[in-house]
């Protein structure tokens, strides 16, 4: 029999993060969201709790946990707010994890203690204005010049890339020609503040308004040759591995949003009255909430299954793609239904439901579009 219950350790973590999201995030996030202000105080508190170090070895300042612990924390945060959740998700899976997976011991010692503390955030510079789903079309280049790499190009939609505590961006860049005649792509660590690194103003976004997302320009940015992350020419394979794991975490985020819609709708259905009774007594509303709960649970089981195979060291590309597809669909559908249940209040930014509605769409796009997930699933089926 499959047991989807959390271990005692993961359940304790879930309860801690649930309380933190309820008591620390919920009271302040609405104002931060509407002002498009980055939640520095919340991030600092998450750092003090050890959330940014959950899956990393204790010798680097981590908590010695596993990747699933990050997913549990991200889901609970997303039940209240996705901007905070994605700041943690990106800081761990995209910012610190590439260094943990592929860095030299010197690189790990230099960066991971600060990243695990949450006092410094890392970003992953993959997407470009003309290279999103087709990341192999990257045009950013890195040319070796003596003891330096010289990086020229641009990156787009990079999370955590321009905050006051951003410490580095790991950049994918074309460093030569591969054996098959294609582009050899490598990953290189670029410290924040490097001369020639231009950080744009934050994007004006539909959702995730309290998270940091920017475009980056690289005007002959020089970094030491020792900033190469992993093997030369293996950057494409490295980022595929990072995104495969990241899909599980972003699925947890989508599941949290879907569950948050259920939570809010259930409370409102018991409070709001029409025709002399709570709206939850009307079958149309009750059935809608029942469907929402079914979607959230299905999404959770999907990402649990992907995480289980990941932690066992088994191939999990198909499972992570299914989890991402199912959970992002659940988030969109539940956000729409929750807005309908709230009626006019659902169209008001005074309620979290409006924030959920705005945040849900990007989950069908970020870290691999729904179309890419279907392509991956089909490929895994042999098509």
Does the pLDDT of residue 315 top 80, yes or no? yes
Record the tokens describing residue 144, joined without a space.
Answer: 């070796």
Neighbours of 273 (CB within 10 A): 11
Does the pLDDT of residue 367 top 90, yes or no? no
> What would the pLDDT profile of 205-227 be if each residue is shown by its tens digit?
999 999 999 999 999 999 999 99
pLDDT at 168: 97
* CATH architecture, range 8-120: Orthogonal Bundle (1.10)
Reference 228, options 157, 124, 144, 156; nearest CA is 144
Record the tokens describing residue 336, joined without a space.
Answer: 């729409």
Does the pLDDT of residue 316 top 90, yes or no? yes
pLDDT at 2: 60
- For the chain, give the mean pLDDT: 95
Buried b (16+ CB within 10 A) or exposed e, 276-307: eeebbeeeebeebbeebbebbbebbebbbbbb
Query: Any idea which fold 123-233 has?
Result: Butyryl-CoA Dehydrogenase, subunit A; domain 2 (2.40.110)
Annotation marks residue 271 as catalytic:
no
DSSP 162: S
Record the tokens describing residue 318, joined without a space.
Answer: 């198909």
DSSP 344: G
Tell the CATH superfamily of the 237-380 domain: Butyryl-CoA Dehydrogenase, subunit A, domain 3 (1.20.140.10)
Least confident segment among 127-141, 228-242, 295-309:
127-141
Give the C-alpha separation, 167 to 192, whole Å. Answer: 5
Does the pLDDT of residue 55 top 70, yes or no? yes
* Beta carbons within 8 Å of 16's beta carbon, 6+ residues apart: 49
Mean pLDDT of 279-288: 95
pLDDT at 1: 46
To the nearest whole percent, how much of the chain has pLDDT over 90? 88
The CA-CA-CA angle for residues 70, 318, 158, to 5°, reads: 50
* Strands annotated E in the chain: 121-125, 141-145, 148-159, 166-177, 183-191, 197-199, 213-224, 228-229, 273-274, 277-278
Mean pLDDT of 37-57: 98
Sketch the domain layout of the chain as residue ranges. Answer: 8-120, 123-233, 237-380
> What would the pLDDT profile of 139-197 be if each residue is shown by its tens digit?
999 999 999 999 999 999 999 999 999 999 999 999 999 888 788 999 999 999 999 99
- Judged by DSSP in three states, 199 sits in strand
pLDDT at 178: 84
pLDDT at 40: 98
pTM given for the model? 0.95
> What would the pLDDT profile of 81-127 be if each residue is shown by its tens digit?
999 999 999 999 999 999 999 999 999 999 999 999 999 999 999 98
pLDDT at 165: 98
Asked if residues 103 and 147 have their Cβ atoms less than 8 Å apart, the reply is no
Does the pLDDT of residue 356 top 80, yes or no? yes
- Count Cβ atoms within 10 A of the Cβ of residue 164 and give its class: 0-12 exposed, 13-18 middle, 19 or more buried: exposed
Active-site annotation holder among 24, 89, 245, 367: 367
Q: What is the DSSP string of 250-310?
A: HHHHHHHHHHHHHHHHHHHHHH-EETTEEGGGSHHHHHHHHHHHHHHHHHHHHHHHHHHHH
């Amino acid at each position: 029999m499959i047991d989807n219950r959390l271990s005692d350790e993961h359940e304790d973590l879930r309860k801690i993060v649930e309380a933190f999201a309820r008591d620390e995030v919920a009271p302040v996030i609405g104002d931060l969201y509407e002002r498009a202000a980055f939640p520095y105080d919340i991030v600092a508190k998450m750092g003090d709790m050890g959330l940014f170090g959950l899956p990393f070895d204790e010798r680097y300042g981590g908590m010695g946990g596993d990747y699933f612990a990050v997913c549990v924390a991200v889901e609970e945060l997303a039940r209240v707010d996705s901007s905070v959740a994605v700041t943690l998700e990106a800081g761990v899976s995209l910012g610190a994890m590439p260094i943990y997976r592929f860095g030299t011991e010197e690189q790990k010692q230099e960066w991971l203690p600060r990243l695990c503390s949450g006092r410094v955030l890392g970003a992953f510079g993959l997407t470009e204005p003309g290279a999103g789903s087709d990341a192999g079309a990257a045009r950013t280049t890195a040319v070796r010049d003596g003891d330096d790499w010289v990086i020229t190009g641009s990156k787009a939609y990079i999370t955590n890339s321009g905050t006051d505590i951003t410490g580095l961006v790991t950049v994918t860049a074309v460093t030569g020609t591969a054996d098959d005649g294609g582009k050899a792509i490598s990953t290189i660590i670029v410290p924040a503040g490097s001369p020639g690194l231009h950080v744009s103003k934050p994007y004006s976004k539909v959702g995730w308004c309290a998270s940091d997302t920017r475009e980056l320009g690289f005007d002959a940015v020089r970094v030491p040759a020792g900033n190469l992350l992993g093997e030369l020419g293996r950057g494409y394979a490295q980022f595929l591995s990072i995104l495969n794991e990241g899909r599980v975490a972003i699925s947890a985020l989508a599941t949290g949003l879907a569950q948050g819609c259920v939570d809010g709708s259930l409370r409102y259905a018991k409070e709001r009255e029409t025709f002399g009774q709570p709206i939850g007594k009307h079958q149309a509303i009750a059935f809608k909430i029942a469907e929402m709960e079914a979607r959230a649970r299905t999404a959770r089981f999907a990402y649990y299954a992907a995480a289980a195979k990941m932690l066992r060291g088994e191939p999990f590309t198909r499972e992570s793609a299914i989890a991402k597809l199912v959970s992002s669909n659940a988030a969109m559908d539940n956000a729409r239904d929750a807005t309908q249940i709230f009626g006019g209040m659902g169209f008001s930014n005074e309620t979290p439901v409006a924030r959920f509605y705005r945040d849900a769409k990007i989950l069908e796009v970020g870290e691999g579009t729904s179309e890419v997930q279907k392509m991956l699933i089909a490929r895994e089926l042999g098509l």
